[in-house]
Structure 1
């Protein structure tokens, strides 16, 4: 797919914004220092297809400049304080918006697998000149030959997690669609102080997430492939039935769909990867802690409110037990994420001389490990800029082995999708196991 860039604009806030350094919490600092990428796709409808202003870039830019006033940190740049700690320099330098076109049609992208082709729809970031040199938000509007449009988004992870990033995008779309006065939107809670460490840090739990992950020493092949698997309502019902069939009568847990599906994916991955029985495997699960803190974070909190939990087990135990065994590990790992646990982790990080140095790296999730992120409860299909809701929204790329996303269906029919990257020689076996219920 060839992309032709037509215009590049640095969009700045429409009004005056505070000039300040924004302190970032330990949860903000420990996340990967990269941009989280996603892509929206839109098609003209019967009411918008003949409109000459379908995804008019001027409408998008005007609305973007307005929403950057209350969400002013996004228009800044990363910097470091006198101790070398990452912070946001709220300097209103702006966000990047690229207008591009392609002779390809949306149907050329099939089921929107997060492949390198999809990555072309998001502006590339040059990290070589230091953290102060690049925008915190990069956007690309690509016009397809068929009349469809994609919106590629790259949000710097130190600035916001998925929930906060989507809130920004959705408010931007509301302003573009309705002309909503920015003064009428709930003011975002910018300060990160709810996640400040205690005056005397006292970690009280073991936080294995920050320990060296298990490695599969004999696996040298690093070539990965990404696929999307569709989970129909019938598939989901069969998975639930399997749990009931295998269920231990002494087990009183009421598993969520996420726990059942994640346990199934973990077990299938262990088997497809042919892990030895004595091989340890860890599963990383991001958990939204906004409602788990005491007091709860404000609904308008803007930043990172996600903390990972990490069940660990021997592959032999995962494989020799029914699927509910893996789901139980997931259940209890999520259940223990409460205010005490998160504050213990924040205090643990506070005592580290170099927080980014102990953060799980991009290879932490490769075989024998996994990271599974759920976007099922996120409002990923609410970004209507005035020309209709997206026909699809998902990750803009999964380049690393062991990364997976659970996505809701764009048709709201109760089905789900699993986007996952695995070693090329593992994917075929995984697909067969995944659908064998």
Structure 2
């Protein structure tokens, strides 16, 4: 994290261990108290939040930006905000929070509860590479329903709160409609529900030939054989996917889409993940996002365990809105088991999506 990104002679992204250090910025004290930021569990004020995370002025590509930038902003009430800007090429969310929590333990004079494992060869490609599975996450889907045209409208962002009662109702809907699904997780039910609703709201089901793809990251740490050592510092996630016609997704019971999500989770095995690593090494492609929904969930990230000596944080969250293909799942607050669903949609689609959220 103290080095700098570079491109190797083979055209691969590498870290040069220059020892230049992490960029640490202490901002001027804000002329307000933290409560003035408002209710951050709803749609945040991005202009304000953007001032709480430092970026390199004038940088035109990520090679000009250090892997980690930190900004501390103090408020009149005595509270402070820790803004963390980390390059996802370096670490996934779990490793990023492992670093922040270790930093907090060090600040409190404690031994590290989890020591970092820096051996990236654990997830290297096989020699020779072996692509053993179809990797539909990279498939290009044709936009036959012309969703691209809909996105020319103004994009509205909203956050929808699913409290424990609503989440339980979704799970009951998924398991009682036709008896196909016997049980499902909260993630499976909520993901299936918003995937179906977003596809319908965008009008993708109007063309019977339109396909849709669901992408979401699966933590592979415990799924590799043998499991990755605790404390592995890097990216240990793999994208899983589900693919179907939008017409099927919308017209079938919720159990249909829940079943697709469940199968996508179950297919992530050691051999599948090794195949995905080798696929990327051979093809050098990126997942296509046409007619695709990417679910990103922060609900299980150990944000609230970060403690620099003043206790646990009362809030955590992103300072940027998700891209048009992304839905973000966030914890509502520490006391509640509610989940906030944050997304952006064209204005006309957002009206339809709002109605579909009424359960």
TM-score by length of 2: 0.90
| Cα displacement string for residues 310-367 of structure 1 (whole angstroms, at most 9, x for unaligned residues) | 2112111111011121111111011101111111111212222xx2xx2137xx26xx
Contact 2:34 2:79 (C-alpha < 8 Å) held by counterparts: yes
Q: 1:380 aligns with which of 291, 300, 303?
A: 303
Between the aligned partners of 1:342 and 1:321, the Cα distance in structure 2 is: 30
Which one of 224, 232, 243 corresponds to residue 301 of structure 1? 232
Q: Does residue 1:313 correspond to 2:244, yes or no? A: yes
Question: How far apart in 2 are the matches of 1:142 and 1:425?
Answer: 38
Aligned to 1:188: 116
Q: CA deviation at 1:223?
A: 3.9
Whether the aligned pair in 1 keeps the contact of 2:171 and 2:185 (CA below 8 Å) is no
- CA offset at residue 115 of structure 1? 5.0
Distance 1:205 1:389, change over 3 A: same
Per-residue CA distance 1:23-69 (angstroms, 9 max, x = gap): xxxxxxxxxxxxxxxxxxxxxxxxxxxxxxxxxxxxxxxxxxxxxxx
The 5-angstrom pairing of residues 182-261 of structure 1 reads: 185-215=113-143, 216-221=147-152, 223-246=154-177, 248-249=178-179, 251-261=180-190
- The 3-state SS of whatever aligns with 2:150 is coil
- Could you report, residue by residue, the CA deviation over 1:164-203 in whole angstroms, capped at 9, with x for unpaired residues? 0010001111222x2125xx55431112112111111120
Structure 1 unaligned spans of 5+: 1-73
Query: Does the 8 Å CA contact 2:162/2:340 hold for their aligned counterparts?
Result: yes
- Other-structure match for 2:335: 412
List per-residue Cα deviations over 1:91-147 (Å, max 9, x = no partner).
Answer: 211111222233344334333235532222211245745544321111111223444
> In 1, are the aligned partners of 2:298 and 2:329 still within 8 Å (CA)?
yes
Contact kept? 2:332, 2:340, Cα under 8 Å: yes
Residue 241 of structure 1 and its aligned partner are, at CA, apart by: 2.8
Are the counterparts in 1 of residues 322 and 343 from structure 2 also a CA contact under 8 Å?
Answer: no
Contact kept in structure 2, 1:75 and 1:91, CA below 8 Å? yes
Tell me, yes or no, if the aligned pair for 2:322 and 2:328 is still in contact at 8 Å: no
Counterpart position of 1:64: none
Alignment correspondent of 1:164? 95
CA distance in 1, matches of 2:237, 2:20: 27
Distance in 2 separating the partners of 1:114 and 1:213: 33
TM score, norm. by length of structure 1: 0.75
Q: Distance in 2 between matches of 1:82 and 1:302?
A: 24
For 1:360 and 1:185, the matched residues in 2 are separated by 35
Of 264, 269, 280, 2:198 maps to 269
Specify every segment of 5 or more residues in structure 2 that has no aligned partner in the other structure, as ranges: none
| Partner of residue 37 from structure 2, selected from 78, 96, 109 | 109
Aligned-pair CA distance for 1:396 = 2.0
1:97 corresponding residue in structure 2 = 24
Aligned residues: 350
* Alignment CA distance shift 1:427-1:173 (3 Å): farther
Partners of 2:325 and 2:351 lie apart in 1 by 14
Residue 52 (structure 2) aligns with: 121
Give, in angstroms, the shift of residue 420 of structure 1: 1.9
CA distance in 1, matches of 2:74, 2:132: 53
| Alignment counterpart, residue 287 of structure 2, candidates 360, 373, 380 | 360
Q: How far apart, CA to CA, are the structure 1 residues paired with 2:45 and 2:16?
A: 33
